[in-house]
Amino acid sequence: MSAPIDPQRLALAREYARARRSDRLAATLTDLLSEVLADRDRLAAAMGEPLVTSMSLTAEDLVKRAVSNAGWREREELPRWSWVARIFGVGSTSASQLCRHFGFSPDEPRGRDDSDDGEAGS
């Protein structure tokens, strides 16, 4: 007969596994964006045109900005994780992990009120 499983240890093991998945997802997105930025640089070099940038952005910066701005100025109000899931094509768990990884609340409502869209009397 096996020993009973300690619920506290099980919860810690699950949280550890969740954090590792979040780190792997962020690393994968960072790698993909690094490739995109490298392709952009190669294309600009091939065209003989200098890149015009006001700042140097890393792939991690771009992912963080996308998570930060998820749902901005959208008419529908949804939690941040929902917008992140739509942007990156991932499920709710991965989207929530991305939000937490970059220091944002996944459940924060994002979107805007339709009352300021300039349509009077509709």
Angle, CA of 71, 69 and 36, to the nearest 5°: 115
Q: What is the pLDDT of residue 103?
A: 94
Per-residue pLDDT band at 1 (split at 50, 70, 90): low
Of 108, 109, 85, the residue nearest 97 (C-alpha): 85
Residue 85 has pLDDT above 80, yes or no: yes
Q: Please tell me the distance from the alpha carbon of residue 65 to that of residue 101, in angstroms, as a whole number.
A: 12
Element containing residue 32 per DSSP (H, E): helix 7-47
Residue 116 has pLDDT above 50, yes or no: no
Q: Model pTM?
A: 0.53
Buried b (16+ CB within 10 A) or exposed e, 34-56: eeebeeeeeeeeeeeeeeeeeee
- Residue-wise pLDDT for 36-58, tens only, equals 878 877 877 777 766 655 556 77
Q: What is the pLDDT of residue 13?
A: 77
Where does residue 121 rank: exposed (0-12), middle (13-18), buried (19+ CB within 10 A)? Answer: exposed
Q: Please tell me the distance from the alpha carbon of residue 25 to that of residue 11, in angstroms, as a whole number.
A: 21
28-32, 58-62, 111-115: which has the minimum mean pLDDT?
A: 111-115
